[in-house]
A and B are shown apart, each in its own frame.
Chain A
Amino acid sequence: MRSSGLSLDQAPPEDIPFRFFLTAPVFGLLAGSLILYRGVIVFSSSWHFETIALTHLITLGWIMMIMMGAFYQLVPVLAGGQVPWIALSRAVHFFMIIGILALAGGLIQISQLLFPVAISALLLAFTVFLTQLLTALFRVKANRPVVVAMRISLISLALAVSLGVLEIGAITGLWPPLIERSIVKNLHVTLALSGGIGGLIVGVGFHVIPMFYLSSPFPEKRAVWILRAGMFSLAAVSVMLLNSAGSALLFTAMLPGVTASIIFTLTVWQMLLKRKRKVVDATLRFWQIGLLAFPLSLLCLAAHLFWPDERLTFAFGLLFLMGFAATITNGMLYKIVPFLIWFHRFSTLVGKVKVPLLKDILPAKRTSGQLLQAALAMLTLLPGALLQIDWLVRAGAIFWLISSGWLFLNLIFAFRQKPVTND
């Protein structure tokens, strides 16, 4: 290991991760409003523009926002690399918001003029973000599994964003389509979800489970194997998709990655069961729900290969995005945000004045209430979309809205905790 890890105090200013974290539930509210307004129509076809808008409100607005904040915060701690040009992260956040709103606005057909805005803003945001993070991660000499997973995630995101931009340009007539639309779509989804989102959650999971719940460490050899299998499948599926391969070939290409995902899930589940700490909190439940939804989502995806019913696509989307990714990122916010507030605002005051504890910054009863709403949203949206029941979908939207609003208020509550000054 060389000088890359010399400075151990490289945490970004607190406003950088927080602005990303606080934005996520606001997009959650927008997503919930769209489902409530349109009902089961958003679960009628994955080509439906409103469905694509909804998907991106969740993937970019919720999941990516939290992932970006987490990348900025975690890379120095987990990987030991300094993120360069950190002040630009504020611009990344600004252009992400503009880009997501313009994309969703364009897709729900407010105005075609919003698409060029979406393309420019998202390209700008992702180019800066990816340059910052890839620079940081390729400077790190250590090849710990988390570093490899983060690199896979970032490269997948870069490819997914490029494909997304190609697609918007093609559908709006900015340039001619280069590849067939369904190929672009499948490739975009595969790279964004399994590489981009899955890569980061798996990589971070290797470390945060032992950290937060005092479990045994994730076996390093297994972690390396999981990442290799995941990378192999990602590449193989991409090649198959580009060559319009049939279901059997695609399934074969997916198999190592799916097996690796299941092994990851079982390992983490086992680690949580055998954790040294006996305390049960909402974050543990968020992880458990996420770990249940993950293999179920893969089952729906595999089934869809042989039984191409759109409802399976929606079940996959809901389970993977809301059940797995949004749930786990939600839970992680409850671990990270109170700690960051404490660390930035109170850690230097310890021993001098009475400082609040993490449980005072974000009380447990606030988080467990939101957990219940998030779970209810999943339990209603899933059957609602599968059975195409409009009122159930709208009821799910209401739970999701309550859950997002509640998360937002919880984060604001934590964010308002400041040292008391006597002057």
Chain B
Amino acid sequence: MQTINEYMAADHARCDQLYADGEAELLSGSFENGREKMLAFEAGMRRHFEMEEAILFPAFEEATGMTQGPTMVMRAEHVQMNGVLAQIKESLEIDDPDTTLGAGETLLMLIQQHNMKEEGMLYPMVDQQLTAQVPDLIQKMDAIE
């Protein structure tokens, strides 16, 4: 049976790959392809946040009664990441690849330390506390467009 940690870590890796692809295109000067891939990355990130904020976090909070704990910190970091994602999107609209790459580098650091905390602590806690619900949670998250 797939664990939440495995499922979510795979989605982190998928988003990382989308970013790396976009970054490589922009670095090679291929702006149109870069924009397309960066937008796919942006969509992937927003979907990942939704999976967590609409399904995973509420389930964890309900099961543990902890609403002021780790999920609160993770939500706050999502707000910060969304802010930089908006900057990336804006720079793509005005054809400013330097800003896209700079904001991307900044976002990536934010994402990586965030993912480290989720994969190292939060997801294992979810797997432990909500073991019986894991297949159902994965199914619900899969259904998100």
The SS class assigned to the B binding surface is: helix
Inter-subunit contact B125/A1 (CB<8 Å): yes
User: Which residues of A are found within 8 Å of B74, using beta-carbon distances?
Assistant: 8
A279 within 8 A of B: yes
B23 within 8 A of A: yes
Can you list 11 A-B pairs, Cβ within 8 angstroms, ordered by A?
A1-B124, A6-B70, A142-B120, A144-B120, A214-B20, A214-B108, A279-B101, A347-B80, A351-B83, A357-B102, A359-B102
Encode B27-69 as 1/0 by CB contact (under 8 A) with A.
1000000000000000000000000000000000000001001
B121 within 8 A of A: yes
Inter-subunit contact A8/B112 (CB<8 Å): no
In the complex, what distance in Å separates the CA atom of A351 from the CA atom of B116?
24
Inter-subunit contact B113/A77 (CB<8 Å): yes
Contact of A8 among B19, B79, B106, B117 (CB under 8 A): B117
Q: How far apart are A349's CB and chain B's nearest CB, in angstroms? A: 9
In the complex, what distance in Å separates the CA atom of A80 from the CA atom of B120?
8
B95 within 8 A of A: no
B134 within 8 A of A: no
- Chain B minimum-CB-distance residue to A216: B13
Inter-subunit contact A7/B116 (CB<8 Å): no
- Chain B minimum-CB-distance residue to A358: B106
Inter-subunit contact B120/A5 (CB<8 Å): yes
In the complex, what distance in Å separates the CA atom of A342 from the CA atom of B84?
12
- Residues 88 to 116 of chain B near chain A (Cβ within 8 Å): 99, 101-103, 105-106, 108-110, 112-113, 116
Q: Across the A-B interface, how many residue pairs have beta carbons closer than 8 Å?
A: 92
Residues in B lying within 8 Å of A, measured CB to CB: 16-17, 19-20, 23-24, 27, 66, 69-70, 73-74, 76, 79-80, 82-84, 86-87, 99, 101-103, 105-106, 108-110, 112-113, 116-117, 120-122, 124-125, 128
Given A8-B73, A278-B23, A350-B83: A358 and B116 interface contact (C-beta under 8 Å): no
Encode A200-236 as 1/0 by CB contact (under 8 A) with B.
0000000100011010000000000000000000000
List 5 tightest A-B contacts by C-beta distance, closest first.
A350-B83, A5-B121, A276-B20, A351-B83, A357-B102
Inter-subunit contact B27/A8 (CB<8 Å): no
Q: How far apart are A351's CB and chain B's nearest CB, in angstroms? A: 4
Q: How far apart are A103's CB and chain B's nearest CB, in angstroms? A: 35
* Residue with the highest number of chain B CB atoms closer than 10 Å, among A207, A335, A350: A350
Q: How far apart are B26's CB and chain A's nearest CB, in angstroms? A: 10
A348 within 8 A of B: yes
Q: How far apart are A343's CB and chain B's nearest CB, in angstroms? A: 8
In the complex, what distance in Å separates the CA atom of A358 from the CA atom of B105?
7
- Residues 1 to 53 of chain A near chain B (Cβ within 8 Å): 1, 5-9
User: Which residues of B are found within 8 Å of A357, using beta-carbon distances?
Assistant: 99, 102-103, 105-106
Inter-subunit contact B73/A339 (CB<8 Å): no
Contact of B110 among A8, A144, A277, A347 (CB under 8 A): A347
Inter-subunit contact A77/B83 (CB<8 Å): no
A360 within 8 A of B: yes
Q: How far apart are B97's CB and chain A's nearest CB, in angstroms? A: 13
Q: How far apart are A196's CB and chain B's nearest CB, in angstroms? A: 24
Inter-subunit contact B106/A7 (CB<8 Å): no
Given A278-B24, A350-B83: A360 and B113 interface contact (C-beta under 8 Å): no
User: Which residues of B are found within 8 Å of A211, using beta-carbon distances?
Assistant: 112-113, 116
In the complex, what distance in Å separates the CA atom of A326 from the CA atom of B87?
36
Given A1-B128, A279-B23: A8 and B116 interface contact (C-beta under 8 Å): no
In the complex, what distance in Å separates the CA atom of A276 from the CA atom of B102?
17
User: Which residues of A are found within 8 Å of B76, using beta-carbon distances?
Assistant: 9
- Chain B minimum-CB-distance residue to A278: B24
User: Which residues of A are found within 8 Å of B86, using beta-carbon distances?
Assistant: 351
Inter-subunit contact B120/A350 (CB<8 Å): no
